[in-house]
Structure 1
Amino acid sequence: MKTLLQNGLVYHDGQLTNQDVLIEGDKIVALGQNLGQLAPDAKVLDVSGKLVSPGLVDVHVHYREPGFTHKETIKTGSAAAAHGGYTTVCAMPNLNPVPDQPELLSQLVEKNQADGKVHINQYSAITKGLKSEELVDFKAMKEAGAFAFSNDGCGVQTAGVMYQAMKQAAALDMAIVAHVEDNSLLFGGVMHAGKRAEELGLPGILGISESSQIARDLLLAKETGVHYHVCHVSTKESVELVRLAKAHGINVTCEVAPHHLLLADEDIPANDGYYKMNPPLRAKEDQAALVAGLLDGTIDMIATDHAPHSINEKTGDMKQAAFGITGSETAFALLYTKFVKPGIFKLEQLLDWMSLKPAQAFKLAAGSLLPGSLADIAVFQLDQASEIKESDYLSMGVNTPFTGQTVYANTYLTLVAGQVAYQREAR
């Protein structure tokens, strides 16, 4: 079957041009003008006035299955990803049971393939049970289908364990993807340690709990040569450390989450669990450093850290609420609205940070509309404003403070391997 996306604003090879995209089966076969003449039998979708881009790539999501299906499932999480324009995601291993054995990982890989509406790459744990003690069998986990290694949700507390993990990952040409957090510096904090935490009477999380572990790991990465990727950087010190490491040739990449770009701790209106996330919303100067880090190339990509929870787990006092915020369904529209429309980011930059750059960093077959590649495509309606509504979410998690905001660039259509994974209903 052939499908023709006709008259769209197509992003390809760094350029935005008005052209058609011809799809046959699961592949893109041509880009160009008036392609209807090549395929008069194609199903035509008129996407005039809409952006046609490579499907977005998210290297950091939590799908909660197995073990926590009251929060999210592979089906609902991947449906939410497609709703947000994502066609490739990478799922974290903080599950129950933790995928820390080859048979558990291979079962999860099969489940991802069976239930996923998008392409799902699965992380293996770095250590057994996500504890900073015994390493998993790295070679066996790679053979079982691991995409990379992460203990996300937990920092690896012991330098020796991280060093050994990096050595093994480097030998297999695999990445270590680190949630950086020194537990001894947390002191029971629930939001950023600053003036706003004092005003709300809440214990604070020091920025150094993140940056100190990054400093340790960067030296270990230099020693081992591993591809070291830092999850959700949030402080100006973290950005500066990564910048310095790149200047010294250390093989490091890093991501920033949309919520850290969009909000600072002073934007937290009250003691509200929906604003509790890890790492927390930081100070305005940290927020500015994250934006600057993206613009100068220190930060490589944007990843959502989509972390759904039940309403009960997020309602009320931050001291009791779970850490986490959803992001798959709102990320592109919010970032386009808050940064592209005012001219802070170029649209081309945002698309690269959310598709091409993560694909390149992790050697994924994604992030491009090159003829011959899989037809993983997102179509966005750039100029039509709409309200983010809880009733529109496909995720089981509604734990985001962005509900109710007016945004542009909503997803109109998502194709995964040429098949419709999401299509917006006519309104």
Structure 2
Amino acid sequence: MSAANLLQVPEEHLFGSDNLPYGLFSTEVESRRRLGVRFGDAVLDLGGAASALGSPHAEVLNGDSLGPLLASGLTVWREVRAELRGWLRPDAGEEIHDRLLPLLRPLAEVELHLPFEVADYVDFYASEHHATNVGRLFRPDGEPLTPNWKHLPIGYHGRAGTVVVSGTDVVRPNGQRKAPTEEVPSFGPSRRLDIEAEVGFVVGTPTRLGQSVPQSQFREHVFGVCLLNDWSARDIQGWEYVPLGPFLGKSFATSVSAWVTPLDALDAARTSPPARTHALLPYLDDSGDEVEQAGLDLRITVTLNGDVVAEPPFAAMYWTAAQQLAHMTVNGASLRTGDLFASGTVSGPEKHQRGCLLELTWGGREPLQLPFGQRAFLENGDEVTLTAWAPAANGRRLGLGEVTGRIVGGA
């Protein structure tokens, strides 16, 4: 494809000018990592474009990470996005386009990297459908939801150092596991390796220790979203999690997209969350006019070795990202630029909308029958891909960057 054609992106393209997600790339010719923006099937060298076109934000955009832009705050985020949309308009002018053309690279010719340094990682448990299914699996004779579930967004602090970019192989983890029929635990590779289809939220503007973030300030601190797969070793997790919760069964790998979609690109996808069945404490109450619609209508697709196994709807999530951020900071815990918090497994009310194999196979008792064979949990060589789209302006759609990971055997 010629360089000129890279600027000719149809309005209906999932990565057109309504979208413009940010990432980090390098090329064979130049190994230095540079900030880029996806436009159609190409990457625009954002720092190069800012310098060539005299942007006042060129210094922030010429680094080797998304971090400086994340830290610059909402006003700069919006100014940069407005500049980008202006440069990439079909009627932006021949002079502008002539300067952009040498700075466009086809996606096939670049290597994508983790776009930001992950400062802290928190994972939530925000889907009522997922939590109910898991409760029925693990507590068949009791109430599916724990007494606190409808009163606060349950979460845990994860491991930032094992967040990896899409395309990174996932090594099957070792650990202790003990089946109900076994008298003592054994050690070895996980036998019940699973996925969790999630959405991640990337923090830009930090806070000081002791400061909390109300729901009304969500947009001032959260830069954008990405798809996320929080791989889970269910057998290791099941033996270790009482009484403190997830540890080795979750900390070995979390895959994120190479692209972070800015929140402002998702305005047309905003929706109301499900009806609240319990009264909420004031800091979590989202019924007032001062709190904008914080649900997001994202349609996720999960494929296993190329076959669709689930289509989880993010609009069904009970707790919103704004509530999660409010709860995460209500005790005064500070935010840092590059913090990542995830929604937890996204599941809907229907079987084909369940976002993990634990639910899809009902704990392994109902394996999936797929063209390449039967699957209860993941086998070595299996490749899982998450994709998603959201409503955009004028009835169009925009895409979120995909997340792919392949399972390889460990030592």
User: What interval of TM-score do these two structures reach, taking the shorter chain for normalisation?
Assistant: under 0.3
TM-score, length of structure 2 as denominator length: 0.24
* Greater per-residue helix proportion: 1
